[in-house]
Amino acid sequence: MTEKQQQSKNTIETNENITDENAIVTSVTESITEVVDAGIPGLEELPEEVRKKLEKSKAQKKEISSHKGKKKKKKKVEKKVSIGMAFIKATYNNTIVTLTDTSGNVLSWASAGIAGFKGPKKSTPYAAQIIARIAIEKAKEFGLTEVSAMVKGVGPGRESAVRALNANGLIVTRIKDITPIPHNGCRAKKPRRI
């Protein structure tokens, strides 16, 4: 085989390798766009930056799970829950909304950190509204329609979280304040100096 024939053969092989790599790159970009386009169902009304952060974290989780080895998964039993409970923990620094069934098994939850709020914005009423919406959208897969709200803490997001539960399609049957109050038991913590 002459030198020119060898060179032409090598260039043909490299062109085939390049086309294979291009095919891989296009398939990866198509799968990424599918993930982004699919998004999180029902969260279209969320603000743009919150929706982008949620989609980004979901894409990263999917990418990580695809790298792990294939294991046999147990079949998930789909349960339908129509009546449940909503636990709202509103502190000075954060707000956490947890939706459970009547026996206390968690269906979905959300906190201000998940929605992308940082620092002093985590404890705002607006953040509480957004995270209540996120928790409700996750719990709608189970068919949750009616909740009784249990509110704990004295943070600024407590009222707006309850209002958001009602505004986003859940029927709030009762609201109970379960903030722990000492009845002259243990000695109280010394007041915080600001």
pLDDT at 188: 83
Q: List, for the chain, all residue ranges whose pLDDT scores fall below the cut of 50.
A: 14, 19, 21-38, 40
Specify the amino acid at residue 32: I
Residue 29 is predicted with a pLDDT of: 43
Residue 192 lies in a domain: no
How far apart (Å, rounded) are the C-alpha atoms in residues 191 and 168? 38
Q: In the chain, how long is the greatest CA-to-CA distance?
A: 98
**Cβ atoms 144, 119 nearer than 8 A:** no
Beta-strand ranges (E) seen in 77-127 are 83-90, 95-101, 106-111
The conformational region for residue 119 under phi > 0 = left, psi -120 to 50 = alpha, else beta, is left
Question: If you count them, how many residues does the chain have?
Answer: 194
Instruction: Give pLDDT, residue 182.
Output: 83
Q: Let me know: does 165 contact 136? Beta carbons within 8 Å.
A: yes
Residue 123: closest CA among 156, 170, 145, 74: 156
Residues 61 and 128 in one domain: no
CATH number at residue 165: 3.30.420.80
Identify the residue whose tokens are 């956490």.
96
- Residue 55 confidence (pLDDT): 83
**Is 190 a member of any domain?**
no
**Same-domain pairing of 106 and 139:** yes
pLDDT the model gives residue 102: 95
CB 90 within 8 A of CB 152: yes
Quick one: 104 and 162 in the same domain? yes
- Closest by CA position to 50, among listed 125, 99, 113: 113
**Same domain assignment for residues 47 and 115:** no
pLDDT in tens, 72-98: 666 666 789 999 999 999 999 999 999
Residue 76, domain member (yes or no) = no
Residues 47 and 98 in one domain: no
Shared-domain flag, residues 104 and 58: no
Q: Are residues 43 and 93 in the same domain?
A: no
* Same domain flag for 11 and 46: yes
Q: How many domains does the chain have?
A: 2
Is residue 185 situated within a structural domain?
Answer: no
- Do 98 and 153 fall into the same domain? yes
Domain hosting 122: range is 83-177
Contact 63, 34 (CB under 8 A): no
Is 38 within a domain?
yes
